């Protein structure tokens, strides 16, 4: 549905959203609601603003020796070839924060290889100045999450040197930023554990005993890795997630995908998402395209927007309907489309809203209709009900947009979601559209 958008359109949309958010914040001061509720709405507006206007590249420090799978992990998250893998002597992005960028967004990666080999460089790539560079970079910017990687076939051998390097990184970050980032530890190359030929990423096609045997090996490796980290008091408190994974993808010369043998990368992405601040989460779900996470954020935004719309509907002056409720609903649709990986586009969002039959006019009718009705039944109780109606309508728009943009529903199906849910939530406003 959306036509190609230029960066100009994106910038324009962004500006409009900023303007609307500012206006809504101003209106909050006039809301006849208890202070606690107003604070809560303010936090919800903050979420909208952070997700839509204040995104930055999530920052990950990758710690693992040569060949552990650092570049492959970056590619596995993007689902595309953005980093050089294997024996390519690319210095790009080594020892410095480097933004791996696609049109969906950027990940800021600090590849710390060289820090463990620093005292005795294995080759000219790992010169001691790599260590100085890494330390300077850690001072310049703190990672949001530290990812420790080790080959699942090597967790016994030199792991102690790797963990010592990891401690060194934590000490630097703490010293400069007074922050101890969460630690995610992964045992890579799980596909090559015995029985080697058993495909974990296609376990459904493999004999069950073989899969079980392989999973038992994965679990052994995980326990070993976990206990090694737990043995170190400087690392143990920060460990949030340990798993065996496989990040293997094979790309042709032209960068197209030849084979995708990723296993548990969605879980890894989920674990990283959980540790990120909101300012990195929008970008991250666009890049990693894990539907469940996109939907989780979309659902949070829907609930936040619905609550704000309900708050605005409680304003005793009718101006609340004419402008912000509808524009906030358009903003919500634009946000959900954006989370799916599309450009930020207000026009496409209003078209979607129009297709739902929930355009400016309908938004106005939501409230006027309900108010007229309720005034007839209980004079004076109007604003309460219109708040519930605005809440239900906005939540239903969010659900329809989630179906269309995140689950590839057709417009007709999205319309049905909208209508069904609006009817259900108006009856029982406790329902949150889940
Ligand atoms: N079988 C298998 N191979 C993998 C996996 N992850 C990475 N590889 C391969 O292992 C080799 C090294 O992976 P890289 O991602 O380049 O490792 P790295 O940590 O970036 O290595 P350096 O950049 O040299 O420090 C490449 O040939 C990858 O294709 C995995 O999970 N399974
Ligand atoms: Mg690499």
Looking at ligand 1, which atom is closest to the CA of residue 249? 29
Residues 238 and 347 in one domain: no
pLDDT above 70: residue 128 = no
**In whole angstroms, what is the distance from residue 321 CA to residue 240 CA?**
45
Rounded (5°) CA angle 213-218-222: 145
Residue 190 CA to ligand 1 centre (angstroms): 12
**Residue 93 located in a structural domain:** yes
**Residue 283 located in a structural domain:** no
Closest to 265 (Cα-Cα) out of 287, 247, 286? 247
**Residue 2 located in a structural domain:** no
**In whole angstroms, what is the distance from residue 144 CA to residue 238 CA?**
12
pLDDT at 430: 56
- What CATH number is attached to the domain comprising 82? 3.40.50.300
**In whole angstroms, what is the distance from residue 246 CA to residue 262 CA?**
5
Ligand 1 cavity residues, CB under 6 Å: 64, 66-72, 85-86, 113, 188-189, 191-192, 246-248
Could you tell me the pLDDT band of residue 274, with boundaries at 50, 70 and 90?
very high
Residue 66 CA to ligand 2 centre (angstroms): 7
Residues 318 and 417 in one domain: yes
State how many domains the chain has: 2
**In whole angstroms, what is the distance from residue 221 CA to residue 418 CA?**
47
Contact 109, 60 (CB under 8 A): yes
pLDDT at 139: 96
Residues 368 and 306 in one domain: yes
pLDDT above 60: residue 376 = no
Q: Which residue has its alpha carbon closest to ligand 1 atom 13?
A: 69
Q: Which residue has its alpha carbon closest to ligand 1 atom 28?
A: 86
Residue 250 three-state SS = strand
Could you tell me the pLDDT band of residue 241, with boundaries at 50, 70 and 90?
very high
Could you identify the residue written with the tokens 């206006």? 23
Q: Indicate which ligand has the atom closest to the C-alpha of 75.
A: 1
Residues 257 and 114 in one domain: yes
Domain holding 383, by residue range, is 7-55+289-427
Q: What is the pLDDT of residues 161-184, one digit of tens each?
A: 999 999 999 999 999 999 999 999
pLDDT above 70: residue 121 = no
Residue 186 CA to ligand 2 centre (angstroms): 15
**In a mutational test of the pocket of ligand 1, which residue from 75, 82, 85, 221 has the highest number of ligand atoms less than 8 Å from its CB?**
85
Residues 51 and 150 in one domain: no
Residue where a domain stops, chosen among 212, 244, 275: 275
Residue 67 CA to ligand 2 centre (angstroms): 7
Residues 235 and 223 in one domain: yes
Residues 100 and 192 in one domain: yes
Residues 190 and 128 in one domain: yes
Residues 36 and 152 in one domain: no
Please give the model's pTM, rounded to 2 decimal places.
0.89
Q: Which residue has its alpha carbon closest to ligand 1 atom 32?
A: 189
Residue 109 CA to ligand 2 centre (angstroms): 11
Residue range 177-206: mean pLDDT, rounded: 97
Residue 67 CA to ligand 1 centre (angstroms): 5
Beta strands 145-151 and 59-63 are parallel
Q: What is the pLDDT of residues 208-226, one digit of tens each?
A: 999 999 999 999 999 999 9
**In whole angstroms, what is the distance from residue 399 CA to residue 418 CA?**
7
Choose the weakest-confidence range: 127-141, 331-345, 365-379.
365-379
**Residue 434 located in a structural domain:** no
**Residue 280 located in a structural domain:** no
Residue range 360-380: mean pLDDT, rounded: 42
pLDDT at 116: 78
Q: Indicate which ligand has the atom closest to the C-alpha of 85.
A: 1
pLDDT at 30: 78
Query: Which has the higher per-residue pLDDT, 359 or 49?
Result: 49
pLDDT above 70: residue 159 = yes
pLDDT at 155: 86
pLDDT at 429: 54
pLDDT above 90: residue 31 = no
**In a mutational test of the pocket of ligand 1, which residue from 60, 69, 147, 151 has the highest number of ligand atoms less than 8 Å from its CB?**
69
**Residue 407 located in a structural domain:** yes
Residue where a domain stops, chosen among 214, 240, 275: 275
Q: Which residue has its alpha carbon closest to ligand 1 atom 25?
A: 66
**Residue 211 located in a structural domain:** yes
Query: Which has the higher per-residue pLDDT, 369 or 105?
Result: 105
**Residue 297 located in a structural domain:** yes
Choose the weakest-confidence range: 205-209, 267-271, 427-431.
427-431
Choose the weakest-confidence range: 135-149, 220-234, 358-372.
358-372
Residues 305 and 157 in one domain: no
Residue where a domain stops, chosen among 275, 300, 316: 275
Residues 46 and 68 in one domain: no
Residues 192 and 302 in one domain: no
Residue 241 three-state SS = strand
Looking at ligand 1, which atom is closest to the CA of residue 87? 24
pLDDT at 317: 59
Instruction: Compute how many other C-beta atoms are within 10 angstroms of the C-beta atom of residue 234.
Output: 14
Could you tell me the pLDDT band of residue 123, with boundaries at 50, 70 and 90?
low
């Amino acid at each position: 549905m959306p036509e190609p958008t230029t960066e100009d359109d994106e910038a324009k949309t962004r500006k409009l959203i900023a303007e609307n958010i500012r206006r809504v914040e101003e209106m909050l001061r006039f809301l006849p609601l208890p202070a606690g509720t107003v604070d809560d709405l303010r936090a919800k507006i903050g979420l909208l603003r952070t997700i839509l206007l204040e995104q930055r590249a999530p920052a990950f420090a990758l710690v693992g020796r040569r060949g552990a799978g650092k570049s492959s992990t970056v590619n596995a998250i993007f689902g595309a070839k953005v980093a050089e893998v294997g024996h390519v002597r690319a210095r790009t992005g080594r020892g410095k924060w480097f933004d791996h960028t696609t049109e969906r967004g950027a990940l800021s990666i600090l590849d710390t290889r060289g820090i463990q080999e620093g005292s005795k460089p294995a080759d000219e790539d790992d010169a001691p100045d790599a260590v100085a560079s890494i330390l300077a970079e850690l001072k310049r910017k703190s990672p949001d999450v530290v990812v420790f990687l080790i080959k699942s076939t090597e967790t016994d051998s030199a792991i102690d040197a790797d963990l010592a390097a990891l401690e060194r990184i934590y000490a630097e970050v703490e010293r400069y930023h007074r922050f101890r980032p969460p630690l995610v530890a992964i045992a890579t190359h799980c596909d090559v554990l015995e029985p080697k030929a058993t495909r974990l990423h296609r376990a459904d096609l493999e004999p069950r005993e073989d899969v079980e045997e392989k999973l038992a090996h994965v679990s052994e490796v995980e326990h070993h890795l976990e206990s090694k980290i737990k043995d170190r008091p400087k690392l143990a408190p920060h460990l949030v997630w340990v798993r065996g994974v496989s990040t293997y993808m094979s790309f042709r010369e032209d960068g197209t995908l030849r084979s995708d043998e990723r296993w548990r990368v969605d879980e890894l992405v989920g674990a990283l998402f959980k540790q990120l601040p909101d300012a990195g989460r929008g970008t991250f779900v666009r890049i990693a395209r894990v539907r469940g996470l996109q939907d989780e954020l979309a659902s949070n935004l829907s609930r936040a927007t619905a609550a704000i719309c309900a708050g605005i509907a409680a304003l005793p002056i009718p101006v609340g309907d004419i402008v912000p409720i509808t524009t906030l609903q358009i903003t919500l649709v634009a946000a959900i489309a954006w989370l799916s990986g599309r450009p930020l586009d207000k026009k496409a969002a209003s078209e979607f809203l129009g297709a739902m039959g929930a355009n400016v006019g309908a938004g106005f009718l939501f409230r006027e209709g309900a108010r007229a009705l309720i005034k007839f039944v209980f004079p004076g109780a109007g604003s309460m009900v219109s708040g519930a109606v605005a809440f239900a309508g906005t939540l239903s728009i969010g659900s329809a947009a989630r179906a269309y943009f995140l689950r590839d529903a057709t417009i007709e199906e999205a319309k049905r979601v909208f209508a069904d849910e609006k009817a259900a939530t108006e009856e029982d406003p406790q329902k949150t559209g889940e």
